[in-house]
Amino acid sequence: MNGEVSRPRPEHEVIGARHGLFGVTGTGDTSGYGRLVAPITLPGNTTRPFGGYFDEILDELETALDRRGVPFDDAVEKTVVDRGQMTIFVTREHLLPVAAALRDEPALRFELCLGVSGVHYPDEAGRELHAVYPLRSITHNRRVRLEVAIPDADPHVVSLLPVYPTNDWHERETYDFFGIVFDGHPSLTRIEMPDDWEGHPQRKDYPLGGIPVEYKGATIAPPDQRRRYN
């Protein structure tokens, strides 16, 4: 089209199929769309050039990891540029050195991590849980996201507190709601749900309804008896 700027588009990976309008299973679909079948897709790898500053970020990251003795192809699974945002998918074994390189390299300087969010893709076999880290460079006024895929059967990933200490409560919340275990966190306990709560409420396999919740008779311990760090 005249006047339009060509933008890179990621390929899409099909991870499953959704049946009916809302993906209802086990009960009748009363929407009238019970025979509808739609693919469940995730964005795949985006081919270069990305445009803007995204290519520079990836080039500088590759150089930084090489200096640290970390093979780029072992650390980075794919890069997705979609809707004006860049997401670098990192293997969980190399999350810490990648984050350290993004923070410390003068040409990168992503000083700020805006927390971590969990995502649950039950149809993506072996990669059901994702941890997403939005990073911001105050120095260069740039944004990038790190994403790590984690198997539900072994929901462990290293804590980023050694690189970004402000992720403390964010990791606790993601553990609470999604069940992702952040190894090395100094106090990985629930932060919103009660300590004895069963399950993780923001997972897509969490049951809806039928769970009694009572707040009557709750007691709050005095401050000096509550959980605290050692």
Domain boundaries, the chain: 12-200
Per DSSP, the residues of 58-93 read HHHHHHHHHHTT--HHHHEEEEEEETTEEEEEE-GG
Consecutive H or E run containing 139: none
Among 18, 76, 84, 27, CA closest to 50: 84
When pLDDT is cut at 50, 70 and 90, the band that residue 73 belongs to is: very high
DSSP 97: H
Architecture of the domain delimited by 12-200: 2-Layer Sandwich (3.30)
Work out the average pLDDT over 164-188: 97
* pLDDT for position 197: 86
What amino acid occupies position 121?
A: Y
Pairing of strands 76-82, 112-113: unpaired
Q: Is the pLDDT of residue 6 over 60?
A: no
When pLDDT is cut at 50, 70 and 90, the band that residue 3 belongs to is: very low
Q: Angle CA(153)–CA(182)–CA(101) in degrees, nearest 5?
A: 115
Question: Among all chains, which residue has been given the structure tokens 């007691």?
Answer: 219
Work out the average pLDDT over 91-116: 97
When pLDDT is cut at 50, 70 and 90, the band that residue 5 belongs to is: very low
When pLDDT is cut at 50, 70 and 90, the band that residue 44 belongs to is: confident
